[in-house]
Amino acid sequence: MNISVYFKNLEKTDAIQNYIEEKLKNMASLFHHIEAVDVRFFLERQYQVCEITVHADAKVFHIRKKNKDLYAAIDAALDALHVQVDKHHKKMDRRSHEYDRRAVLPSVPEIPEGEEVLLTVYEASAKPMDDLEAILQLRAGRFRFIMYHHINEKKFSIAYQRPDGNYSIITPAKEEGQYAEHIVKFQDNQLKELSVAVYPMDRMTVAEAIEALKENNLEFLAFINEETSKMNVLFQTKHGDLALKRPPA
């Protein structure tokens, strides 16, 4: 765990630094993946303040407590952090259970020939993200799949959970227009690659993708949009409506 401790307007002591570091290390098991922890101690009028910021599990946890006794402020901040993390996990568990209960997806509505269909279009975030962060968001139960701007490839990738509990990450291959599927296992807060193979990404129009989604009763379908030559994902919302996820224009 990478812990940074800062003192401002307060005397820095090894006793305080060792105390907070030991306490935080004991709380490490509360998180799946910790990116960084910042602790700041400073004086605010007659009070001593402990401010803790934890970047973990694709979320930022922030706590600020003050007391005339610094140790009391630290203990109060750690207790509040524990409560905040526990609430977050319970919220994610509820979302995950709600997703698990959706055993049967609503069928894709029949679209009479020549009739227009309402399609909601979403643009993927341009914020760079690595594979581990994407998988952590999937594990939090927020998405069935995630399209993200790969921090290394500088292109958009897709990740989703497989029926066997492992994860598939679909990324652009070195060959133009080709894609690779990396099957990975999440273990000890890390990703272990199990295999990699060419991923056949069909090139089709949105109308053809809708038809393919309907015929195969799929949750979502990744394809190359014939009009834009970019990877898109067609999917059903929890209400049974159709939606399209695409890279920003």
pLDDT, tens only, 216-225: 888 889 999 9
User: Predicted confidence band at 111 (pLDDT cuts at 50, 70, 90)?
Assistant: very low
Q: What is the pLDDT of residue 123?
A: 87
Q: Are residues 161 and 239 in the same domain?
A: yes
Same domain for 96 and 161, yes or no, is: no
If asked whether residues 162 and 80 sit together in one domain, one would say no
Candidate from 49-58, 99-108, 116-125, 145-154 with smallest mean pLDDT: 99-108
Which CATH number fits the domain that encloses residue 195? 3.30.505.50
Residue 162 lies in a domain: yes
| 97 and 177, same domain (yes or no) | no
Which of 58, 73, 101 is at the close of a domain? Answer: 101
Same domain, 23 and 72: yes
Are 77 and 145 within one domain? no
How far, in whole angstroms, is CA 235 from its chain's centroid?
18
Rounded to an integer, what distance in angstroms lies between the CA atom of residue 167 and that of residue 62?
Answer: 30
Q: What is the DSSP letter of 154?
A: S
Whether the Cβ atoms of residue 190 and residue 169 lie closer than 8 Å to each other: no
Given 74, 101, 128, the domain boundary residue is 101
Residue 23 lies in a domain: yes
The CATH number of the domain holding residue 42 is 3.30.160.100
- Per DSSP, the residues of 163-225 read TTS-EEEEEE-SSTT-EEEEEEEEETTEEEEEEEEEE---EE-HHHHHHHHHHHT-SEEEEEE
Q: Evaluate whether residue 113 is within a structural domain.
A: no
Element (H, E) at 30: none
Average pLDDT on 18-39 reads: 87
Mean pLDDT of the 128-148 span: 85
Q: Report yes or no: 182 and 158 within 8 Å, Cβ to Cβ.
A: no
Q: What contacts 60, CB < 8 A, 6 or more positions away?
A: 53, 54
Alpha-carbon distance 119 to 171, whole Å? Answer: 25
Q: Compute CA distances 208 → 41, 188, 215, whole Å.
A: 59, 41, 11
* Per-residue confidence (pLDDT) for residue 106, from 0 to 100: 39
Does residue 100 surpass a pLDDT of 50? Answer: no
Domain range for 183 is 119-246
Is residue 98 very low, low, confident or very high in pLDDT (cuts 50, 70, 90)?
Answer: very low
Tell me what the mean pLDDT of segment 99-111 comes to: 40
Query: Is pLDDT larger for residue 21 or for residue 126?
Result: 21
Q: How many domains does the chain contain in total? A: 2
Mark whether 140 and 54 lie in a shared domain.
no
Given a contact cutoff of 8 angstroms between Cβ atoms, the answer to whether 162 and 177 are in contact is no
pLDDT of residue 240: 75
